[in-house]
C-alpha cells in the first residue's frame, strides 16, 4: 500500500547503497590506478648499481642508457635495459 | 581517414553489441559510410543483433587467412546501403588475429569507409586488445554498477598503455563514457550510482546515457537495432549519442524519473 508506505517511511536520511558503492569504488579504483603506474622503489638504486658495473668495462653516458620495468599480463615482469655502444668505447 | 572507434567495456553483458549496432546504424542513416566489425572471435553475435545472421558466408578470419576477399565477407545492410558488417568467425581460435593482419584489414577498410566501429569482446584478453589497438576513439560502455565501473577503469588503463597510439607516443585515444541500463527512479531512491557518480570515478567525458528499456530486448528479438525504434526512450537516447559523435551539442535526456500522478501516488502502482 503506497499510502501506508508514505506515513511509515522513515524521516531521517539513511546512508544509501548507492553512496556506499561510490565510496568503495573510489577507494579501489584509486588503489588500482596507483599500482598500474607505480615503478618499484628499488628501481633508482638498481639503475645506479648497473651503471657502476658497466662503467668498470665500458664508457656509458647517461643519455645512452635507459632502463624500464614493464608489467605484462599476469605475473610476468620484464626488465628492459638499453645501452648504446659506440666504437672505441672500451676503457683499456 | 576513417575514424576507428572501439566499443569496449571490460565486463560482459553491459551492452557493447547493442550499442555498436545502434550507433553504427545511426551513423549510416546520417549519410556516413560505416563498417561494423565483430571482434568476438568464437562468439559471434553482432550478426544476430543486426538481423543478418543468415547471410553470413565468410568472416573476419577467412579474410585474414586469405580464404576470402573483404568484398566477399562484408555483408551489406538491407536497410541502409552505406552500412556493412564484417562478422566474427564462429569456430576458429582467437589467436588468428594479430597486430599485423588486423592492421592490414583496417587499412583496407579505411579506404572504403568513414567510420570503422570495432565491437570488442568482453575481458582483457588478446581479442579485446586487438579490438582497441588501432582505435582513435573508445566508447567505454558501463552499467551503473560496481563491477562494471571497476572493469571500465581497467580498460581505460589498457587504452592508455596498450594501444597503438600509446606505443607510438601519439595523441591518446579519445575516450567517451556511455552509461547504459540507467534507471533514474532507482538513482533517486539511492539504489543506483548516478551519472555524476560514475563520471566522478572514471573522469572521462560523457557521451550518452541509455535508460533501462524494454525496447532493447524487443529490438534484439527482431534483429532491428534499437535506434530504429524511434518512439522508444533507448532509441532516442542512441540517436542523441550519434548526434554528439557527429559534433552536435545535444542536451541529455531521460536522467530524471517520470513523475507519478496523484492517483498512482495514493493507490500505488
Model ipTM value:
0.85
Q: How does the average pLDDT of chain A come out, rounded? A: 78
Closest residue on chain B to A28 (Cα) = B150
Contact B267 A3 (CB under 8 A): yes
- Closest by CA to B77, choosing from B39, B113, B40, is B113
Contact A29 B187 (CB under 8 A): no
Contact A3 B193 (CB under 8 A): no
At A92 the pLDDT is: 55
At B130 the pLDDT is: 95
% of chain B exceeding 70 in pLDDT = 95
Contact A18 B193 (CB under 8 A): yes
A-chain CB neighbours of B127 within 8 Å are: none
- The three cell numbers of residue B81 are 546501403
Residue B83 to residues A76, B52, B212: CA-CA distances in angstroms? 42, 12, 27
At A2 the pLDDT is: 64
Closest residue on chain A to B153 (Cα) = A29
At B268 the pLDDT is: 61
Cβ pair B118, B131 in contact under 8 A: yes
Question: Is the model's pLDDT at B266 over the cut of 70?
Answer: no
Q: What CA–CA distance (Å, rounded) separates B66 from A32?
A: 42
Query: Which residue has better confidence, B210 or A59?
Result: B210
B-chain CB neighbours of A36 within 8 Å are: 157, 161
Closest residue on chain A to B267 (Cα) = A2
The alpha-carbon gap from A2 to the nearest alpha carbon of chain B, in Å, equals 5
Weakest mean pLDDT among A49-53, B36-40, B94-98, B101-105: B94-98
At A72 the pLDDT is: 63
Q: Strands of chain B (E only): list them.
A: 3-8, 34-38, 75-76, 83-86, 115-119, 137-142, 174-182, 206-211
Q: What's the whole-number mean pLDDT along residues B162-180?
A: 95
Per-residue model confidence as pLDDT tens digits over B199-257:
999 999 999 999 999 999 999 999 999 999 999 999 999 999 999 999 999 999 999 98
Residue B7 β-bridge partners: B119, B139
Contact B153 A21 (CB under 8 A): no
Q: Which of B153, B193, B264 sits opposite A29 (nearest CB)?
A: B153
Question: Is the model's pLDDT at B163 over the cut of 60?
Answer: yes
Contact A25 B201 (CB under 8 A): yes
What φ, ψ does residue A65 adopt, rounded to 5°? -130, 130
At B106 the pLDDT is: 97
B-chain CB neighbours of A34 within 8 Å are: none
Cβ count within 10 A of residue B141: 30
A-chain CB neighbours of B148 within 8 Å are: none
Confidence of residue A42 (pLDDT cuts 50, 70, 90): confident
B212 secondary structure, DSSP code: P
Confidence of residue B17 (pLDDT cuts 50, 70, 90): very high
Instruction: Please indicate if any CB of chain B lies within 8 Å of the CB of A9.
Output: no
Q: What's the whole-number mean pLDDT along residues B39-51?
A: 95
Question: Is the model's pLDDT at A68 over the cut of 60?
Answer: yes
Contact A29 B157 (CB under 8 A): no
The alpha-carbon gap from A86 to the nearest alpha carbon of chain B, in Å, equals 26
- Closest by CA to B216, choosing from B252, B258, B180, is B180
Question: Is the model's pLDDT at A8 over the cut of 90?
Answer: no
Q: How does the average pLDDT of chain B come out, rounded? A: 94
Question: Is the model's pLDDT at A48 over the cut of 90?
Answer: no
Instruction: Please indicate if any CB of chain B lies within 8 Å of the CB of A16.
Output: yes
Contact A19 B190 (CB under 8 A): yes
A-chain CB neighbours of B201 within 8 Å are: 22, 25-26, 29
A-chain CB neighbours of B153 within 8 Å are: 29, 32-33
Cβ pair B5, B115 in contact under 8 A: yes
- Sign (positive or negative) of CA dihedral B128, B130, B131, B134: positive
At A45 the pLDDT is: 85
At B87 the pLDDT is: 97
Contact A3 B149 (CB under 8 A): no
Exposure string for B24-56, b = 16+ CB within 10 A, e = fewer:
bbbbbbeebbbbbbbbbbeebbbbbbbbbeeeb
Question: Is the model's pLDDT at A20 over the cut of 60?
Answer: yes
Residue identified by cell 540507467 is B182
The alpha-carbon gap from A18 to the nearest alpha carbon of chain B, in Å, equals 5
Question: Is the model's pLDDT at A90 over the cut of 90?
Answer: no
Amino acid at each position: 500500500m503506497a499510502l501506508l508506505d508514505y506515513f511509515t517511511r522513515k524521516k531521517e536520511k539513511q546512508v544509501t547503497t548507492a553512496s556506499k558503492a561510490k565510496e568503495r569504488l573510489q577507494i579501489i579504483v584509486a588503489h588500482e590506478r596507483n599500482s598500474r603506474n607505480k615503478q618499484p622503489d628499488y628501481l633508482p638504486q638498481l639503475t645506479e648499481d648497473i651503471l657502476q658495473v658497466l662503467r668498470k668495462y665500458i664508457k656509458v653516458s647517461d643519455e645512452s642508457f635507459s632502463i624500464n620495468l614493464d608489467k605484462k599480463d599476469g605475473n610476468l615482469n620484464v626488465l628492459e635495459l638499453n645501452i648504446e655502444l659506440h666504437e672505441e668505447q672500451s676503457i683499456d | 581517414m576513417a575514424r576507428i572507434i572501439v566499443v569496449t567495456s571490460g565486463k560482459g553483458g553491459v551492452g557493447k553489441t547493442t550499442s555498436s549496432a545502434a550507433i553504427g546504424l545511426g551513423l549510416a542513416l546520417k549519410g556516413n559510410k560505416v563498417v561494423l566489425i565483430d571482434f568476438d572471435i568464437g562468439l559471434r553475435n553482432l550478426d544476430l543483433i543486426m538481423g543478418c545472421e543468415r547471410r553470413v558466408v565468410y568472416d573476419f578470419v577467412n579474410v585474414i587467412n586469405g580464404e576470402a576477399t573483404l568484398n566477399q565477407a562484408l555483408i551489406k545492410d538491407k536497410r541502409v546501403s552505406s552500412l556493412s558488417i564484417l562478422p566474427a568467425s564462429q569456430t576458429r581460435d582467437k589467436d588468428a588475429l594479430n597486430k599485423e593482419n588486423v592492421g592490414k584489414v583496417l587499412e583496407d577498410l579505411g579506404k572504403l569507409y568513414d567510420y570503422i566501429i570495432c565491437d570488442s569482446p568482453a575481458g582483457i584478453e588478446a581479442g579485446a586488445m586487438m579490438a582497441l589497438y588501432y582505435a582513435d576513439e573508445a566508447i567505454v560502455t558501463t552499467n551503473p554498477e560496481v563491477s562494471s565501473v571497476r572493469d571500465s577503469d581497467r580498460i581505460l588503463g589498457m587504452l592508455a598503455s596498450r594501444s597503438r597510439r600509446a606505443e607510438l607516443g601519439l595523441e591518446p585515444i579519445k575516450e567517451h563514457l556511455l552509461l547504459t541500463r540507467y534507471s533514474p527512479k532507482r538513482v533517486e531512491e539511492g539504489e543506483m550510482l548516478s551519472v555524476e557518480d560514475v563520471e566522478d570515478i572514471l573522469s572521462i567525458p560523457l557521451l550518452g546515457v541509455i535508460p533501462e528499456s524494454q525496447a532493447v530486448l524487443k529490438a534484439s528479438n527482431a534483429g532491428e537495432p534499437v535506434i530504429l525504434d524511434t518512439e522508444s526512450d533507448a532509441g532516442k537516447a542512441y540517436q542523441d549519442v550519434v548526434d554528439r559523435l557527429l559534433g552536435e551539442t545535444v542536451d541529455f535526456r531521460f536522467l530524471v524519473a517520470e513523475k507519478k500522478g496523484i492517483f498512482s501516488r495514493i493507490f500505488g502502482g
